Structure 1
Amino acid sequence: MAQNIPYLGPINGGLREGTSIYIQGTIPKHITRFFINLICGESESSDIALHFNPRFDGWDKVVFNTCQNGSWGSEDKIHKMPFRKGEHFEMVIIVTLQGYEIKVNGIDFHTFQHRIPMEQVRGLQIAGDVSIQTINFIGPGGYPGGDMGISQFVFKPVPYSNNIPGGMFPKRTIVIRGMVPYGADRLSINFLVSRSRDIAFHMNPRLREGIVVRNSMIGGNWGQEEREMSMNPFMEGQQLCVSAFKSFLSVPQMSIRCGNQRFKVFVNGQHLFDFFHRWQSFNEIDMLEIEGDVQISYIHF
């Protein structure tokens, strides 16, 4: 859903190390400047812990700063522009102990060192020449109470294949978000044992059929399918993403959590289904593959 600009909203629970803020939007063709502020309150007069201010003024640059008690600090000026006029963008702000790591379209841009403690941040403010479609806050590990995770910002079409750093272990959560085109048929998310290519957990949303099939393939043989589920968040046409990708649908944020007996799958925080381990040494599961009709925005380990 598109956000009205100017935008001013709370960050429930505040910030801590490992929190990520995912922002998806579009830069208009006739842009002058816009800004994104992390503020120490919920009003426009609050102190600003992070001021992120792209300026298209003939000497394109991005200005970083803070503001305390109405007084601006010294500017950090980055004389390069990660945004393009008239184009869609995806941006992530990652909170670390040192500062705010900024990624734009999957590329590291700049780290702004903390001048105000992250614990004081309570809100997000966006204003200026920009259109915002998505604002999403991801806690450490992508799951309430989870450990700090690792994010891979992919921004490329599948097939996607990569190692899972450290493999799977109890309470580990992987968060996946992406885009599904209209007319999509199916996609698959596989958790594999790389040494044998066995698929310990195969999840296969079949969009036109309105089902999500779960299975495993061990020793070259598929096991028994599981299909029962009370809801299907992947059904075609569920939510229109009003952006430069107008022909795409938004995939709900999916969290896949490993337990001692099963995988637990959540969509937008709601429990979807469990899949009991068929590969008993689940710590050997060390690869994630995604195929089919989907484009991945980010993967958070």
Structure 2
Amino acid sequence: MAFYQQQPFYNPKSPFKGSIQGGLQDGKSIIISGRVLPHAKRFDVNLQCGSHSQADIALHFNPRYENGSGYVVHNTFQKGNWDSEERKYEIPFPSGHQFTLQILVTQDTYKISTNGRHFMDFRHRVAYSQVDTISVNGMVELNSIGFQNPALFVPPQTAFLPQFATPPGYGFPAYPPAVSYTVPYKTVINGGLYPGKNILIQGIINPNAHRIAFNLRHISGIAFHYNPRFDQDVVVRNSHHMENWGPEERFGGMPFKKGQPFQVTISCNPHHYNVFVGGQQAHTFNHRFTTLNEIDILEVSGDLQLTLVQA
């Protein structure tokens, strides 16, 4: 089977409808990043079988902000009719906030994660091989819609397992980890960065930690230096180019705790990085080095243990 490496859609306007080149395959992932507009009432993401107005919808993901709380509806639309709804009474994306939504296609289900954290599974009612269109509608501002093919994922024994094993019954096989992570740790980011690319890091902060650091590097420096400092109770963000550090950014809180597990998602957007810690947005950092595909190394260092890296 031939896989198409599709370029992301950048800054699409809602309502949006676009083609999924090559359709869906087992292991393909779609990553949508953006911001829910303030006072939003609802928005939806649809994986469709065609682009016409009455096309079948294999997956309808529909956050609804109602009565001060809200919920998410999951459904399908077939032969002109909606099927039975599945509702989850939780809103993973607060209105007015940035978000990253990832939909991973598996043989039996769509696995949906929000801001790097598993949200729910939705079993196939329509064959995913028929899906060739994505649409987004409603009160949302989009940064990018990106695609990752199965060939771009690390093997299943290291991809997603610890990150998504927290909620029992997530459905991934219980493969033992095949990688032993030694800190400091360095790995290649296959293909470099691009809008829609997510980097996932999970581990445990040492009880007496002073500092940790995550670096996204290119050949002549560090595009993004993310540096939680427990001795100063601050997270420093910076870049390093041609042997010189840029101006530090220090505003925002400290989302990490000594002795506690952590999960970080660094989401690359067209103009900035979003950093989610434990599924909550913690910081943003505007691109200073803009040739994203040349950013091809991830480094992790400091007072921590690693349990998962997906770059």
The amino acid across from 2:58 in the alignment is A
1:111 is displaced (CA, Å) by 0.4
Q: Specify the SS of the correspondent of 1:150.
A: coil
1:137 to 142, 147, 163: 147
How far apart, CA to CA, are the structure 1 residues paired with 2:291 and 2:120? 26
- Which sections of structure 1, spanning at least 5 residues, go unmatched? 155-163, 180-185, 191-201, 212-237, 255-266, 276-287, 293-297
1:249 to 277, 287, 291: 287
How far apart, CA to CA, are the structure 1 residues paired with 2:189 and 2:28? 14
The amino acid across from 1:240 in the alignment is H
Q: Specify the SS of the correspondent of 1:9.
A: strand
Q: Specify the SS of the correspondent of 1:21.
A: strand
1:4 to 9, 13, 37: 13
8 A Cα contact 2:144 2:270, kept in partner: no
Change in CA separation of 1:42 and 1:203 when aligned onto 2, cut-off 3 Å: same
Report which of the two structures shows the higher radius of gyration computed on alpha carbons.
Answer: 1
Partner of 1:231: none
1:166 is displaced (CA, Å) by 2.6
Q: Does 1:38 align with 2:47?
A: yes
The amino acid across from 2:178 in the alignment is G
2:61 to 43, 47, 52: 52
The amino acid across from 1:88 in the alignment is Q
- Which sections of structure 2, spanning at least 5 residues, go unmatched? 1-9, 164-175, 181-186, 200-212, 224-239, 244-268, 275-280, 303-307
Q: Does 1:205 align with 2:221?
A: yes
8 A Cα contact 1:101 1:111, kept in partner: yes
Q: Specify the SS of the correspondent of 1:119.
A: helix
Q: Specify the SS of the correspondent of 1:81.
A: coil
What does the per-residue CA deviation read over 1:194-249, in whole Å, with 9 as the maximum and x for residues that have no partner? xxxxxxxx9663456469xxxxxxxxxxxxxxxxxxxxxxxxxx953499977512
Q: Does 1:240 align with 2:263?
A: no
**Identity across the alignment (%):** 31
1:44 is displaced (CA, Å) by 2.9
What does the per-residue CA deviation read over 1:111-151, in whole Å, with 9 as the maximum and x for residues that have no partner? 000001110100100000111101110000317xx976824
Q: Does 1:90 align with 2:100?
A: yes
The amino acid across from 1:138 in the alignment is Q
RMSD: 4.2
1:30 is displaced (CA, Å) by 1.1
Give the structure-2-normalised TM-score: 0.56
How far apart, CA to CA, are the structure 1 residues paired with 2:58 and 2:144? 22
Q: Within 5 Å, which residues of 2 pair with 1:1-301?
A: 1-58=10-67, 60-142=70-152, 150-151=159-160, 165-167=177-179, 175=190, 177=197, 188=215, 205-206=221-222, 209=241, 240-241=271-272, 248-249=286-287, 267=293, 289-290=299-300, 300=310
8 A Cα contact 1:187 1:205, kept in partner: no
How far apart, CA to CA, are the structure 2 residues paired with 1:210 and 1:204? 6
The amino acid across from 2:151 in the alignment is G
Give the structure-1-normalised TM-score: 0.58
Q: Specify the SS of the correspondent of 2:84.
A: coil
Paired residues in the alignment total: 211
